[in-house]
Structure 1
Amino acid sequence: MAADAIAGDPKGGVAPQSTRVSNLAHLVTRAARRLGDRPALVWGDKTWSWRDFDARVSAMAVALKDRFGVTKGDRILVQSQNCNQMFEAMFACFRLGAVYVPTNFRQTPEEVAFLLEASGASGLICNASFPAHAEACQRSARAPGFTLSIGEAAFGEDYDALVDAHLGQDVPNTVVDRDDPCWFFFTSGTTGRPKAAVLTHGQMAFVAVNHLNDLMPGTGPDDVSLVVAPLSHGAGVHQLTQVAAGATTVLLPSERFDVAEAWALVERLKVTNMFTVPTIVKRLVEHPSVDDFDHSSLRYVIYAGAPMYRADQKRALEKLGPVIVQYFGLGEVTGNITVLPCGEHSLDDEAARLGTCGFERTGMELSIQDEAGAELPLGQTGEICVAGPAVFAGYYDNSEANAKAFRNGWFRTGDLGHRDEAGYLYITGRASDMYISGGSNVYPREIEEKILAHPKISEAAIVGVPDPDWGEVGIAVLVAVPGETVTEAEIGAFLADKISRYKMPKRFVFFDEMPKSAYGKITKKLVRQALEERGVLTARATA
């Protein structure tokens, strides 16, 4: 190309090219060709090779296309707990250029029917365990054109029977562009109703490469990944990455999370990685069975969804060694905002960057902004905003939410934080978690960290509530370590010289168990609801 052509054209003299990208289902195609009879998926006493898995994906894709007319762009809602059929359905949708729309399987029938309507799904794949959910969808204003049942059920056609009927038939991977949607990733709905974040083929290909580069370097066909979270959200993205690497995916044998069973699988199958949330890591390392099984095969235990408190970090490092990896990211950015690798977790408080969730992921950029969108200096707290190829295309059919979520090309996370001089990010909390007491901003996470340093406290969550004197004050909900007894006065005395007086919670309330979301996360919305149900907030209002 002539130099003057480049100089005379701000785009470098290059004509616009095709935006075609590889269909994500090609990851399965490639693994089946290359790895053939090696294990792709293990569930209970069943193992599917890559060749088996690819054949089942193709059979379901043919059934969806020929029997039900599914074509590129159609949305397919999937209501199921983890199972091989759910994992297959994801790639069958991708293969046709259709959109995979998984639900949080613990939602109510009415909530799932809302997701069906909100996504405009034309079909439903529903596990036989959820007949009420299938019925709610079928009687909704936008009833699905077809329903498949995973397992024997009175509703819909049998998923496995359709696969068996079409085994040996094939359909090519549909041609897709970079921005063609592949997955509607519903937000958890901690504020308002869930929204469908549109994930695309090009975006998710970047995410898979980024996960392998930043979170699990060196992962390949010899690796084994244990799934301990629902495939509908972050674990599904993690397992997509395992497929990209040719690694084996292992599902827990039962829906109930059994810690001893998980550790037994780690030992027996030589599991090398898993993805979960801090509360599940806490359960894994505090359970007595952690000492009963060999977990030396683990190379990466990746946690996300919420920061891990320092006391829990140390316990995990003591039990598992230097294998824990943290990432920060929302569903809208597909988990790709920051990373704190294994080598930067330390038991030594002097060596560790305490409280950080890491540095920017490869190809991603952070900006800490004020309410007007201006970038703040290092060390100042503001809203965490992000740009880069992992950012989603926007919310489906929700222009109002999109207008609020994007500003000057940046996606606004709604999280508050600041960066140090080396660019490491420190999350202060959700903007919605902050409260103002006596005119001063209070960030609950800072106080929760201090409380969790008390040896008798296992979990802590603080919410701000209205107060006639101070505007707002904090109520701390605490869970004691099993077998321990602790009082409000004891915690108050413990905190007295550790935080400013205006940050001191007005009350300490003890629960036997902390309310958590379906993904094992402590959310302030659920904590507040629990306080309301117990009359704590009502009692304050009438005091």
Structure 2
Amino acid sequence: MNPAEWLARAAKITPQAPALLHGTHVIANYAEFGQRSASIAAGLQRSFGITKGDRVALFMKNRTEYLEASYGIWWSGAAAVPINAKLHAKEAAWIIENSGASVVFVSDDVGDDLRAEINSSKTKVISVDQPEYAKMYEVDPLANPVPIEAQDMVWLFYTSGTTGRPKGVMMSSQNIQSMMLGYYAGVGTPTNKDASLYAAPMSHGAGIYSFMHVVAGGRHVCPISGGFDAAEILEIAPKIGNIAMFAAPTMVRRLVDVAKETGATGEGLDTIIYAGGPMYFADIVEAVDVMGPRFAQIYGQGECPMAITVLSREQVCDRKHARWEERLKSVGVAQVASCVRVVDEGMKDLPTGEIGEIVVFGSAVMRGYWNNAEATASTVLDGWLKTGDMGALDADGFLTMHDRSKDMIISGGSNIYPREVEEILLMHPAVSEAAVVGRFHEEWGEEVIAIISPEKGKTVDVAELDKLCIDNIARFKRPKDYLIMEQLPKNNYGKIMKRDLRDMLKNSGKVK
């Protein structure tokens, strides 16, 4: 099933229904949304030779054109390659090259830097802010979406890995449909009266949740700010109504704080799905107290998109169950299309309550990593996805996470893998060793801290390290503090003991 089929159907059934909104302003109805995407598809085929299975990238902040271009890519039979707009242009260029994307849709605010980093003979850059994009609306539209099979790749999502380079997760049409099934069964079924609000990056969970609202013929709202602004959301929500939105735990916390300050109740917000990291128990209790029963929790990974477990809205607001506190501290139960186990290093099931690695099996698990058979083989064993996350199951099947991937840092809902940052820091000639870990931060959950061991007899200039990071990686990955340590702690095998470093930071805020 081609995802663009859902748009084609909505355009025929409810052509005049509002589809794309910028704030409260309607940009396009479903007939216009469908026509634009069909014309973009025709333009991709006729002007750029895009055929079934090709890759087309998107590198822009949240805006209605993101959805037009995405569904145009699928309509043409190609796979979309969404790239986080917060990434450095060099990082985006690497993803484009690795994916083999021959076209990339950008916005001018990030596209200008990207042009300097890519090979223009291999990849055509189309800015949605320039006349060239608007002219694509005028192309004779492709009558029907190109047929797509269940195992055909439709979304190539790049997720950072411990090797320091991102890995491309191949999501098939079946993966997407299984994710949707989990949403319908665990979160709810949207109708044409509902709206999806995109405050979190559309390159990630927020964007992947567009499908259910396209099927329903619902509205798609991009905030005027282009991102997350708690005050803006609470202001426009009552005007739009019936909003569902994806939010990182830090976003939920800020929404609640602003609601308390302004007296807002969350009117107009129907469902807030929080994911992207564990949420503190006290925070979700307060969120429900302040804004009511609007919250549901999802646990997923790029390798099993938004589809591992769910804690339903009813379970989040339940205060009558004897173990409601334990359940609220969990990430819920296995979604309808997934099976979840907790295993030891030999993939043997662990007893109830015992901590081990979380593994998942089901139709939402990725096809594999793009052009990386070795990583696929070590991550998916006999169909079971090794998440790298540690957790425990209770007798009722509720999964409680005890640690995200051993070294990964989650700051403001964004995943930051230390190896990426460490490799940049080690480019400095005065740096002998570098270890990057997370330190508790009240607002962001964690902040990035770099511990540096200098070369013997050399002095490390922190300003130079900061510039090195700014020039090579996204700003949200940049360390917020640089600490100097003569010798980093190591085990008997010479491996840096990051747990010791995290413990030192936790206990004293500094290393010794």
TM-score in terms of structure 2 length = 0.79
Q: Hey, what does 1:39 align to over in structure 2?
A: 18
Q: Report how far residue 214 of structure 1 moved.
A: 1.4
Paired residues of 1:259 and 1:289 also in contact (CA < 8 A): no
Paired residues of 2:359 and 2:384 also in contact (CA < 8 A): yes
Alignment of 1:193-232 (within 5 A): 193-216=165-188, 218-232=189-203
Paired residues of 2:199 and 2:226 also in contact (CA < 8 A): no
**Relative to structure 1, is the Cα distance of residues 312 and 291 closer, same or farther in structure 2, using a 3 angstrom cutoff?**
same
Question: 3-state SS of the aligned residue for 1:356?
Answer: coil
Say if 2:229 is the partner of 1:251: no
Question: 3-state SS of the aligned residue for 2:113?
Answer: helix
State the number of aligned residues: 435
Per-residue CA deviations over 1:172-229 (Å, capped at 9, x if unaligned) read: 111111111111011145762211100111221222232122112x421111221111
Amino acid at match of 1:212: Y
Q: Report how far residue 395 of structure 1 moved.
A: 0.5
Q: Of residues 85, 88, 93 in structure 2, which corresponds to 1:108?
A: 88
Say if 2:112 is the partner of 1:150: no
Paired residues of 1:226 and 1:266 also in contact (CA < 8 A): no
Amino acid at match of 2:219: T
Q: Of residues 59, 63, 67 in structure 1, which corresponds to 2:43?
A: 63
Per-residue CA deviations over 1:222-253 (Å, capped at 9, x if unaligned) read: 11221111111111111122212222111111
Q: Of residues 251, 267, 271 in structure 2, which corresponds to 1:280?
A: 251
TM-score in terms of structure 1 length = 0.74
Q: Distance in 2 between matches of 1:290 and 1:358?
A: 31
Q: Distance in 1 between matches of 2:175 and 2:336?
A: 14
Say if 2:376 is the partner of 1:402: yes
Q: Distance in 1 between matches of 2:333 and 2:245?
A: 21
Q: Distance in 1 between matches of 2:167 and 2:364?
A: 18
Q: Distance in 1 between matches of 2:245 and 2:148?
A: 30
Paired residues of 1:328 and 1:336 also in contact (CA < 8 A): yes
Q: Report how far residue 297 of structure 1 moved.
A: 3.3
Question: 3-state SS of the aligned residue for 2:331?
Answer: strand
Alignment of 1:114-193 (within 5 A): 114-139=94-119, 143-152=121-130, 158-163=132-137, 165-166=138-139, 169-189=141-161, 192-193=164-165
Q: Report how far residue 108 of structure 1 moved.
A: 0.9
Q: Structure 2: state its 5+ residue gaps.
A: 411-415, 419-435, 445-475, 490-510
Q: Hey, what does 2:505 align to over in structure 1?
A: none
Question: 3-state SS of the aligned residue for 1:385?
Answer: strand
Per-residue CA deviations over 1:450-475 (Å, capped at 9, x if unaligned) read: xxxxxxxxxxx9x9xxxxxxxxxx99
Q: Which moved more, 1:289-298 or 1:39-48?
A: 289-298
Paired residues of 1:203 and 1:390 also in contact (CA < 8 A): yes
Q: Which moved more, 1:198-207 or 1:357-366?
A: 198-207
Amino acid at match of 2:229: D
**Relative to structure 1, is the Cα distance of residues 110 and 428 closer, same or farther in structure 2, using a 3 angstrom cutoff?**
same
Q: Report how far residue 431 of structure 1 moved.
A: 4.2
Q: Which moved more, 1:413-422 or 1:295-304?
A: 295-304
Q: Distance in 1 between matches of 2:299 and 2:293?
A: 19
Q: Distance in 2 between matches of 1:294 and 1:357?
A: 25
Say if 2:422 is the partner of 1:422: no
Structure possessing the higher radius of gyration over alpha carbons: 1
Q: Structure 1: state its 5+ residue gaps.
A: 1-21, 435-443, 446-460, 464-473, 483-524
Q: Hey, what does 1:72 align to over in structure 2?
A: 52
Q: Report how far residue 72 of structure 1 moved.
A: 0.5
**Relative to structure 1, is the Cα distance of residues 400 and 481 closer, same or farther in structure 2, using a 3 angstrom cutoff?**
closer
Percent identity among equivalent residues? 30
Q: Hey, what does 1:530 align to over in structure 2?
A: 480
**Relative to structure 1, is the Cα distance of residues 250 and 120 closer, same or farther in structure 2, using a 3 angstrom cutoff?**
same
Paired residues of 1:267 and 1:294 also in contact (CA < 8 A): no
Which structure ranks higher in relative contact order (CA pairs < 8 Å, sequence separation ≥ 6)?
2
Q: What is the alpha-carbon root mean square deviation over aligned residues?
A: 2.9
Question: 3-state SS of the aligned residue for 2:289?
Answer: helix
